[in-house]
Amino acid sequence: RKEVEQDPGPFNVPEGATVAFNCTYSNSASQSFFWYRQDCRKEPKLLMSVYSSGNEDGRFTAQLNRASQYISLLIRDSKLSDSATYLCVVISNFGNEKLTFGTGTRLTIIP
Amino acid sequence: NAGVTQTPKFRILKIGQSMTLQCTQDMNHNYMYWYRQDPGMGLKLIYYSVGAGITDKGEVPNGYNVSRSTTEDFPLRLELAAPSQTSVYFCASRDPRGSSGANVLTFGAGSRLTVL
């Protein structure tokens, strides 16, 4: 089993719709979780951290489910500009040096 | 703050040539990383460093070398370029101290390398 797994997609979603995707992780000792966004041919950029209690930033909501070992990202009222690849990142408590990336979920918002 | 700066942005190499990808950060981050990303694929860790004078191998270190003589700089060297090293290379840094927000990984803009 991979340390961090994501559905690669692509998710093709009409503008204005709500879309959600998950990221599962195998190490139960993982402590820190993040969602990054990567546009085509660009570097990944932090979208949001994922806190234990869940957190929201505008149209974006991130949640953590420790029991089932996954994090989720919900995008409401999707915009054309949301088209990108979304990467989840997990930092395990042990060592705290290496970050593990998922392979990313590609999202395309359709006009 | 410039953040993480990588040079060059683009480079074409012939098989067997050597080159160094430069990476520098001005955020006083202890941790620095080199990733490669092949087309349509995820990021793979090549090498990382937790501080000046300390480096360690990641998932795919073969064919690469690194050094970390200062906190700011973390160059990646390719000694004998091979077509399999055609990829986009990203350098990144972070400061693991403090709150979880301080764990944010900041990337450079990437270096696109083609080996022919």
What pLDDT does residue B39 have? 84
**pLDDT tens digits, A55-86:** 999 999 999 999 999 999 999 999 999 999 99
**Chain B residues near any Cβ of chain A (below 8 Å):** 31, 33, 35, 41-43, 45, 48, 50, 56, 58, 88, 90, 96, 100-101, 103-110
Cα distance between residue A36 and residue A46, in whole Å: 4
| Burial bucket for residue A86 (CB in 10 Å: 0-12, 13-18, 19+) | buried
A-chain residues near B90 (CB < 8 A): 43-44
**pLDDT tens digits, B30-73:** 999 999 999 888 899 999 999 999 999 998 999 999 999 999 99
What pLDDT does residue A41 have? 87
Residue A3 has pLDDT above 90, yes or no: no
